[in-house]
Amino acid sequence: MSYYPDREELPPLGALCLDYTDDIHRPPGDPLNELSFQFPIIHEMVENASLWNVVASEEYTEEFLQKFVNACDKLADRGALGIITSCGFLAQVQQRLAARIRIPIVTSSLLQIPFLLNVRHQSEHIGVITFDSSTLGDAHFRGAGVTPEMKERVSVIGCPPDGVLRGIIKNGDPYVHEDLEAEIVNCAEELLKIDPQVKVFLLECTQMPPSAKAIQKSTGLPVYDVVTLIDWFYAGLRPKTFVADEFKEEGLRRRLRSDQELKQ
């Protein structure tokens, strides 16, 4: 078994927040809710990072990118060990941001695509569920290190333009978990009908992780999201402690080796 020390003993991760007039509800499972993790999270809002400024198909301007750099610098000054974000569409600036800030950053769950493709059979596809499939495109996949060859094994479905998730984020509609979960599970089921080769799901949007378990239960397939990425990210930045080895003395004896093992 491995564990982290008490939360107050751990350095925080810094989280880039979008510039909402009134932020959306963020339950446990959302990366901006500290209860999603065993380690602390501190927040910093990015000036003018409104919904449709961030969820964009075209590359960000240098002026807009600098606002993210400024927020990252503030988080570093506040003691953040690394930086996460609150929108998967920030994948497009992963490499540009990493080159300009002094602590490591993970911008999007999409960064897991190359890894997941490597651990799955070449006939298997990844199903990406996104906030907006009409906007998610080459700039975002390229930013996440997804090559055109890799992209051939990725199928994408977006939540309905007039659906629950869009209503919550765009219009400020009430957050009803059961309704949101049903919509995202339906997206997963629909994507399997479109592409039966999908054998693993990846959730782009940071509002989707609370529904991951329901997707897995409905489809029987593995589900990855920004929370799985952040857990991995922090585990490297601050390795866990393992329980004491109760058989330590047993490890001190010299082990026998066969002739075959001793051959050079």
- Residue 138 in tokens: 């080459």
Low-confidence ranges of the chain (pLDDT < 70): 264
* Residues near 154 by beta carbon (within 8 Å), at least 6 away in sequence: 113, 125, 126, 128, 141, 146
- Residue 87 in tokens: 């929108």
Burial letters for 133-148: b for 16+ Cβ neighbours within 10 Å, e otherwise? bebbeebbbbbbebee
What pLDDT is attached to residue 51?
86
What pLDDT is attached to residue 207?
96
| Backbone φ and ψ of 202, nearest 5° | -130, 125
Rounded Cα distance, 143 and 79, in Å: 26
What pLDDT is attached to residue 263?
78
Rounded Cα distance, 225 and 223, in Å: 7
Is there a contact between 37 and 15 (Cβ–Cβ < 8 Å)?
no
Burial label for 38, CB within 10 Å (0-12, 13-18, 19+), is middle
What pLDDT is attached to residue 240?
94
CB atoms within 10 A of CB 4: 16
Domains in the chain and their CATH numbers? 2-242 (3.40.50.12500)
Is there a contact between 110 and 150 (Cβ–Cβ < 8 Å)?
no
Q: Reduce the secondary structure of the chain to three states and give it as a string.
A: CEECCCHHHCCCEEEEECCCCCCCCCCECECCCHHHCCCCEEEEECCCCCHHHHCCCCCCCHHHHHHHHHHHHHHHHCCCCCEEECCHHHHHHHHHHHCCCCCCECCCHHHHHHHHHHHCCCCCEEEEEECCCCCCCHHHHHHCCCCHHHHCCEEEEECCCCCHHHHHHHHCCCCCHHHHHHHHHHHHHHHHHHCCCEEEEEECCCCCHHHHHHHHHHHCCCEECHHHHHHHHHHHHCCCEECCCCCCHHHHCCCCCCHHHHCC
